[in-house]
Amino acid sequence: MSVILRTVAVSDRGKARENNEDAVHAGSRLVAVADGVGGGPSGEVASAIVIRVLAALENGPAPPAPADALRQAVDAADRGIREAIDADPRLEGMGTTLTAMLADGDRLDLVHVGDSRAYAWREGTLTQLTRDDTYVQGLVDKGVISAAEARAHPQRALVTQAVHGAGISPTYAQVRVRGGDRFLLCSDGLSDYVDDAAIAATLREQADLAGCAHQLVQLALVAGAPDNVSVILADVEQA
């Protein structure tokens, strides 16, 4: 089986932001979400650089070694941010999260940096595929606070790793897929304000891909979502 993705992306600046620092790509081979950090317009610059570099993986025929191509693209994106900062020192400190999945035969290659998330929805079960690179997730891992307490922690948005032009250690994984699987990638504008139970209920009740994505974003907005919120849904089809 070769994986082909049927995808949709929805992004909203949220209730309080004047700009949208999220950038997304939703194609037939690649899905990716990047949430810029660094404040002002610089977050937008960082996320746009990363998504532009990764989106090139959709050009032309599929790469012969997708996992290697994904790693090379992530490294190139990190270098692109460094080059942008060198060209304009006012951008110093900018960076972005990155969560992306690339079709690779009968699987998806996953890369993750920061706190944007990837989930799998299979046979009525929602599974989080990524671990947040955040200060509060470290506290949860150490047993200092509970996962429920982490959702309300004042430092929940403090990421411990980002693509920022100074070298990174992304998490890479491979996800086996089945026909009928649905994958969700999102910025923390969704996951910080809509819990997994509500996400799962929406995926269960809303079969239409675009309708489901819009409903998830609406849930975040109804919850107050001061942050940008981006949702990508990808249904697996067999070729």
pLDDT value of residue 224 = 86
Contact 55, 117 (CB under 8 A): no
Nearest to 35 by CA among 12, 1, 55, 57: 12
pLDDT for the residue 156? 73
Task: Give the type of residue at 154.
Answer: P
What pLDDT is stored for residue 39 in this prediction?
A: 63
Residue ranges, the chain, pLDDT below 70: 1, 38-41, 239
pTM: 0.93
Residues 6+ apart with CB under 8 A from 230: 9, 10, 11, 12, 22, 24, 33, 35, 186, 187, 189, 190, 217
Domain ranges for the chain, please list them. Answer: 3-234
Determine the 3-state secondary structure of 118 from DSSP.
strand
Please report the pLDDT score of residue 184 as a whole number.
98
Task: Classify domain 3-234 by CATH architecture.
Answer: 4-Layer Sandwich (3.60)
Give just the sign of the alpha carbon dihedral 119, 95, 53, 82: negative
Q: Which pLDDT score is estimated for 169?
A: 93
9-59 tens-digit pLDDT: 999 998 877 789 999 999 999 999 999 986 656 899 999 999 999 999 999
Tell me what pLDDT residue 77 has.
98
For residue 205, count other CB atoms closer than 10 A to its CB. Answer: 10
